[in-house]
Structures are given as C-alpha cells and as structure tokens.
Amino acid sequence: MRVPLLSGTTLVVVEAGENGVELRPPPPVEPIADVAAAVRDALRFPLAGEPLEALVPRGGRGTVLVEPPALPVPGSLGDPRRVAIAATMAELDRAGVPLERQTLLVAGGLTRRAGHRELELLVPPELARRFRGRVEVHDVESEDLVEIGLAGNLPVRVHPALVRTDVVVSVTAAETVLNGGAGALLAAANPEALRAADAHSLLETGASGGWKLALQLEQALAHRVPLTGVSLTLNTPVLGGMLHGYPYDREAVDRIANFPLRGLFGLLPGTLRRRVLRHLPSEHSAFAVFAGPPSVAHAEALLRGVEARSANLDGRLDAICIGIPHTTPHLPREAPNPALAAYLGLGHALRLWRDQFPLVEGGTAILLSRFRRRFPHPTQHPYRALFQALRSIGAREPDELAQAEREAAADSRALDAYRAGRACHPLLPFAEWAACQPAIGRLGAVLVAGCRDATTARQLGFVPTHGVGVALAMARGRAGKPPRIGFLLSPPYFPLRVTG
C-alpha cells in the first residue's frame, strides 16, 4: 500500500508495509442546499430556550459573536459561515434590531487580531457594503474588559459588547470543544482565562477544562443578557484539481500516489509550490445547523460532526505518521515555525480523538516536516521567546518554563505588537506548547522525518531523522515487534474514534 502524505509543500509517498493502517475520513455528507434558510429555521425553532424573536426587544441592540475562520485547515473563500452570519444578522433585523444597531464582535482569543483583509472574509460582499453597524475586534489586553465573576478561583473579564447589549448571538462552526459555541465566548475573555482553557481531547467535554470554563462563562453571561447561538456542522472539505477526492476516496489516493509527474512538482521552487497549493480550489459545506444556548447547539453539532467525519480505528496503534502542511493553524496563513508544526501534529491532529487515545502508551509519533527554524516577522516573532526558554531550560522543566511564560507575558513590546494587530499574543506560543503535552506525555518518542534543523528538534525533545524511511525503521525497532503504524491522510485533519 502506497500512501501519499503532504510534508510542507511536497508530496511524500510512503510504503505502508504489511501492518500499515490507512486512516481516511468518510466521504462528505450531502450538504445543505440553502444555509441561510437552515439558519433562519434553527433560530425560530431552537434545540432549547426561546426563539430569537422572543429574546430581542424591538429597537434594541444586538451583538453577533464570531470567530476567525481558521479551522479547518485549509480554509476556503466559500465558507458557509459567511452565509450563516449574514442570515443571523438579517433575522436580528427582522426581529427588531436594525443593522445599524448591531455589533459584529470578532473574538480571536490569543491569536493575531484580525485585520481588514480577514474582516472582509467574514461576511458576503453584499452585506459588507451595506452594513452600518459596529465591527469590534477583541483585544484581550484591553482595560475596558468587564468582570463578570469567578470561574473556580479565576477572575473572568469579557469584551463590553457581550454585556452592554440586549442580546448576544454567537455564530460558529463546531470544530472542537474549544472552538465554537461557548468557546467563542471564552475567546472574547481575558488572557488568564484563555490560558487556563486546556483539553486532553478536543472532542470530549469530560477531558477538557476549557469546556468547563466556557460553560461557566456562558452561565454567568446568561444571567446578565439574553444569549443564544448558531452552530454549523461542516463537511470534510472537498479539494479540487489533482487532489479532488483526497483524502477520503481510495481511488484518488491511488491516483495521486502513482501520478507519473509527481516528482516534477517537487523540483519546482518552494515559493511556486506554495503558490500552487494555496490556489487549489477548496469547497467547504455544512450539513447541519442548530440553534439554542451556545453550549447546547455546539455540543449537538460537534457530535454530528464526529459521527459523520470520523475514521474508525479497531484498536490502538504502535505508531502514527502525520503529514504537516506548509501553513499555520491561524490566520494569516504562513509557513509554520517548528513550534507551530509540532502543534499541528501533536496539539491538534493527535487531540482529535474520541473514546481512546489512538496510540498505545509509549508509542511513536512521526511528524513529516522540514522543521526549519524561521519566524515570519512580525507575525511569529513571539515564538522566539518560547525557543529561547526551551534552549536554556529544556523541554522538560515545567516550573522554569512557567517563569519564562510570565516574563514573556509582561513584554511591553510584544504586547504592543499584539494590540496593533501585527503579531499574536506572547502567551499563545506557550499555550500551544502546553497543548502538545497531553500527547507527548503518552508517547515514547516523537520523530521528525525530513528534519533540516536537528538542533531545534532536539531542543523540543524530539528525534530528528533524514527521511520517513529512517523514521519508520526506528518506529519498528522501538516497538520490538511488527508494529501497527497508522498513516493519517491529511490535511484536513479529522476525528479518530478508537474501539477495542
């Protein structure tokens, strides 16, 4: 079995071997033909609570809460969330809140604050031209954040637009327990609350402290202002061109693996390969829409997505091979530095599991990435602080790393760059590294196949290898027996359900 995996901008074909397990998502579900109509119906007949029209005082003010469409990777200009946001604003207008009294609040958490280019992608052009309301981009460091109480022992403060309004409507897609629904409310909170939002699994609420924190925030807000939400269940993205049918269609996988001109693509300059991949057509669609309290609608949409998009795995694996794309999990899309590459594989792909962690204890993860230590300036400049801390104290010293995190969070220049929309918040690199720890704690080794910076890989506690063949040989040697090695056909990354 030959398996094509994306490593940066190159396509690597791997011989899976006798015990290789190909991990592919199911084909896309039949999409909704009219997303706007589905949103209108969902708001009029929610899963729980009152319909939108009963929550809105005529002539009042409304806040529409959204997240930047960073997930899934890759993105698409035809994202159904744009239509859902426009339909929600139209429903608010019909219920008595005109467009000029609506606020569009963009909550990106610790990621780079959305600029004009990202804001243009949130709604259809027709709505953007006639919208006369306010557009607010959340600033986690703003002095105007409103304290709404404690979540455990943690004080939580949120954007004023969530409190000084007559109704809040969140419009999100159910990608993980931390992204969408009540997680969008948390993305409009203070940095301390955001940093406490952890999760061992991105698909199980019981394994996520971030879900519990977001739920407490939702309950506190609901005592102050009427609150409802719309959650979309997105399909597996459909790629165009040569990649049409990948990764869910076995025939497409074989076609790509055996394409005679595949090697010529790898000979092209890297900038040209990146341009080709970024301009490949990609279609996103939704197959379910729910409304109600944000946590309720989000949980139902997430369950539907897990059922429809999961690859079922009969028993856990001894090793897994994960391709890392040449893009960041955040907007704007850029080449990922090694910490972001690790986050894509360990903090995102390996946390998309349900029922059981997909690898045995002490298993091996193989990341296909060149691991070049480059930090596009200024957007990824805060990651330098993480690498400097890891270089001086190592990857296994959590107490000293926490001190380095506190120092980074107090860096006035880094905070100014975040508030100006030039870079992410200085806490984000440390939060993403912490998100990798649940997987790292269960793994015996992380191998970087095709690594071009061995020093950086070792600095993160990983093992650099020259190519995927060497990495697979090392994984077989570590298992001490013929191992079951899974090959994750991605991106986009999809849920793994482990049985047995």
Burial of 259 (0-12, 13-18, 19+ CB in 10 A): middle
Count Cα neighbours of 43 within 13 Å in the Cβ-side half-sphere: 29
Complete domains list, the chain, with CATH: 2-25+310-499 (3.90.226.30), 35-234 (3.40.50.11440)
The pLDDT, as a whole number, for residue 391 is: 85
How many whole angstroms separate alpha carbon 492 and alpha carbon 71? 9
Structure confidence at residue 1 (pLDDT): 79
Confidence of residue 500 (pLDDT cuts 50, 70, 90): confident
Confidence of residue 287 (pLDDT cuts 50, 70, 90): very high
Q: How far is CA 331 from the centre of its chain?
A: 10
Burial 457-480 (b: 16+ CB within 10 A, else e): bebbebbbbeebeebbebbbebbe
> By C-alpha distance, which of 263, 224, 259 is closest to 241?
259
Residue 70's nearest CA partner among 327, 368, 291, 434 is: 327
pLDDT at 237: 86
Q: How confident is the model at residue 120 (pLDDT cuts 50, 70, 90)?
A: confident
For the residues 119-127, what does the mean pLDDT come to?
A: 90
Cβ-in-10-Å burial (0-12, 13-18, 19+) of 325 comes to: buried
Distance CA 438, CA 443 (A): 9
Nearest Cα to 289, choosing from 56, 495, 104, 40?
Answer: 40
Residue 261's pLDDT is 63
**pLDDT range class, residue 238, cuts 50, 70, 90:** confident
pLDDT at 480 over 70: yes
Which residue, 7, 27, 72, 74, is CA-closest to 487?
7
Cα-based distances in Å from 296 to 39, 47, 310: 16, 8, 21
Q: Taking residues 308-323, report their average pLDDT.
A: 95
Amino acid identity of residue 186, one-letter, is L
What are the tens digits of pLDDT across the range 80-92?
A: 999 999 999 999 9
Residue range 127-180, pLDDT digits in tens: 999 999 999 999 999 999 999 987 778 899 999 999 999 999 999 999 999 999
Question: What does the pLDDT read at residue 281?
Answer: 72
Question: How far apart, in whole angstroms, are the C-alpha atoms of residue 8 and residue 335?
Answer: 8
Closest CA to 234 of 359, 48, 67: 67
**pLDDT tier at 485 (50, 70, 90 boundaries)?**
very high
What percent of the chain has a predicted confidence (pLDDT) above 90? 73
- Against a cut of 0.85, is the pTM above it? yes
> What CA–CA distance (Å, rounded) separates 418 from 378?
10
Pair type for strands 463-465 and 443-449: parallel
Give the three-state DSSP class for 150.
strand
What pLDDT score does 18 carry? 81
pLDDT band for 265, please (50, 70, 90 cuts): low
Q: How far apart are the C-alpha atoms of 450 and 467, rounded to whole Å? A: 4
Q: What is the pLDDT of residues 23-63, one digit of tens each?
A: 999 999 999 999 999 999 999 999 999 999 999 998 999 99
**Per-residue model confidence (pLDDT) at position 499:** 85
- Mean pLDDT value of segment 424-440: 96
Answer yes or no: are the C-beta atoms of 25 and 250 closer than 8 Å: no
The CA–CA distances, whole Å, from 437 to 67, 232, 270, 346 equal 25, 29, 31, 8
Give the model confidence (pLDDT) of 150-162 as tens digits: 777 889 999 999 9
Mean pLDDT, the chain, whole residue set? 92
pLDDT in tens, 331-376: 888 889 999 999 999 999 999 999 999 999 999 999 999 998 889 8
Q: Lay out the sheet containing 311-314: strands in order across.
A: 311-314, 496-499, 353-354
Confidence of residue 433 (pLDDT cuts 50, 70, 90): very high
Top mean-pLDDT range of 237-246, 272-281, 480-489? 480-489
Residue labelled with tokens 């998309």: 352
Higher pLDDT, residue 487 or 490: 487
Sheet of 286-292, strands arranged across: 134-137, 102-106, 62-66, 168-173, 227-234, 286-292
* Residue 83, CA distances (Å) to 37, 271, 339, 441 in order: 10, 33, 34, 41
- Position 466 pLDDT exceeds 80: yes
Give kind and range of the element (H or E) at residue 314. Answer: strand 311-314
pLDDT at 244: 85
Task: For residue range 363-412, list pLDDT tens digits in order.
Answer: 999 999 999 888 988 999 999 999 999 888 765 677 788 999 999 999 99
Give, rounded to a whole angstrom, the gap between the first and last alpha carbons of the chain. Answer: 24
* HEC string for 4-22: EEEEECEEEEEECCCCEEE
Which residue carries 């997909």 as its tokens? Answer: 358
The answer to whether 235 and 35 are in contact (CB under 8 A) is no
Quote the CA–CA distance of 481 and 468 in Å, as a whole number.
19
Tell me whether strands 10-15 and 463-465 are parallel, antiparallel or unpaired: unpaired
Model confidence band, residue 106 (pLDDT cutoffs 50, 70, 90): very high
Q: Are 365 and 447 in contact (CB under 8 A)?
A: yes
Q: Does residue 266 have a pLDDT over 70?
A: no
Structure tokens at 354: 């349900």
Distance of CA 63 to the CA centre of its chain: 24
Q: How far is CA 398 from CA 57, 339, 390, 395, 403, in A?
A: 50, 16, 10, 8, 9
Label residue 263 by pLDDT band (50, 70, 90).
low
Residue 412, burial from CB neighbour count under 10 angstroms (0-12, 13-18, 19+): exposed
